[in-house]
């Protein structure tokens, strides 16, 4: 696998990483990991409360390691490096800009109302975050999809996330309730994961977010895949202000199942 690092103009911190398949192995399948980044620029982190300077709750922890096999299958990956506490790439920029964790592009508080900032950011800085951290990721993803469509008739996009609750299933597949892809594609994914012994639910409670809504189209099918924390992490202290760690035994058990499931999905979808 070859990693291509992309940097936004004027910044010395990589905004996203693109995982390229080996030459000759590329297929028309893309995987996006928008919520796995943990970097917060110091100028923003200094405005956070001490709690949020050390604890980025509801991050999609460790997914780049969980899915590091995808480029070997021919999938092009794009992974955000910056935290969703900087800007949430899965929210509509035309919606609420600054507000609660549940709705806004930039969060001012958590689900329970706990404030994230000890010093609120200047309102003039908020639109700049969209230009600096939000738009480059979506433009890069659009470029990847467009590039693949130049040489393929259609593209399949996976938007990869992780969750702890409120359900206990292993994976939740979202297709915007039948909008972002054909039913046969959703069924293909569901059956492939179930054949690996994973417990699957579709569109409940996660039906898909802004990212797949923005990037699906007549030639691009899109699925949001939510993976439960407990399938690969030690969650015994998940509610404590520390970053959860991978459980090596769980990950060792999970990864071959995921690899086989994705290989099956890709094989059938690409007509192999």
Over the stretch 51-91, which tens digit does the pLDDT of each residue have?
998 889 999 999 999 999 999 999 999 999 999 999 999 99
Rounded Cα gap, residues 44 and 42, in angstroms? 5
Over 80: is that where the pLDDT of 5 sits?
no
* Helix, strand, coil percent content, the chain, rounded in steps of 5: 30, 20, 45
Name which of 6, 63, 58 is nearest 33 in CA terms: 63
Output the 3-class SS for 178-232.
Answer: CCCCCHHHHHHHHHHHHHCCCCEEECCCCCCCHHHHHHCECCEEEEEEEEEHHHC
Average pLDDT over residues 11-17: 79
Q: What is the 3-state secondary structure (H, E, C) of 42-98?
A: HHHHCCECHHHHHCCCCCCCCHHHHCCCHHHHCCEEEEECECCCCCCCCCCCCCCCE
| Cα 14 from Cα 133, distance rounded (Å) | 10
Judged against a pLDDT cut of 90, whether residue 1 lies above it is answered with no
How far from 43 is each of 13, 39, 47, 86, CA to CA, in Å?
Answer: 13, 12, 7, 11
Residues 34-49 pLDDT 10s: 999 999 999 999 999 9
pLDDT tens digits, one per residue of 138-193: 999 999 999 999 999 999 999 999 999 899 999 999 999 999 999 999 999 999 99
pLDDT exceeds 60 at position 8: no
Q: All domains of the chain, ordered by start, with CATH?
A: 2-269 (3.40.630.40)
SS3 39: strand
């Amino acid at each position: 696998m070859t990693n291509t690092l992309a940097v936004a103009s004027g910044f010395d911190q990589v905004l996203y990483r693109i995982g390229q398949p080996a030459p000759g192995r590329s297929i028309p399948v893309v995987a996006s990991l928008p919520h796995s980044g943990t970097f917060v620029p110091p100028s923003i982190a200094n405005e956070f409360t001490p709690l949020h300077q050390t604890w980025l709750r509801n991050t999609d922890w460790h997914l780049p390691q969980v899915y590091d096999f995808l480029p070997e299958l021919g999938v092009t990956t794009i992974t955000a490096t910056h935290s969703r506490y900087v800007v949430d790439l899965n929210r509509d920029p035309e919606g609420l800009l600054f507000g609660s964790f549940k709705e806004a592009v930039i969060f001012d508080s958590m689900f329970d109302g706990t404030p994230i900032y000890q010093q609120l950011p200047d309102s003039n800085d908020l639109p700049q975050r969209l230009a600096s951290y939000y738009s480059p990721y979506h433009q890069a993803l659009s470029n990847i999809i467009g590039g693949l469509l130049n040489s393929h008739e259609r593209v399949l996009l996976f938007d990869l996330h992780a969750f702890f609750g409120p359900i206990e299933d292993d994976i939740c597949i979202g297709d915007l309730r039948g909008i972002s892809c054909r039913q046969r594609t959703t069924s293909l994914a569901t059956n492939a994961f179930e054949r690996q012994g994973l417990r699957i639910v579709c569109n409940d409670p996660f039906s898909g977010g802004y990212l797949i809504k923005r990037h699906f189209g007549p030639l691009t099918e899109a699925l949001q895949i939510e993976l439960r924390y407990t399938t690969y992490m030690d969650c015994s202290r998940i509610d404590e202000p520390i970053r959860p760690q991978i459980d090596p035994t769980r990950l060792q058990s999970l990864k071959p199942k995921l690899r086989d499931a994705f290989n099956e999905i890709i094989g059938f979808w690409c007509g192999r």
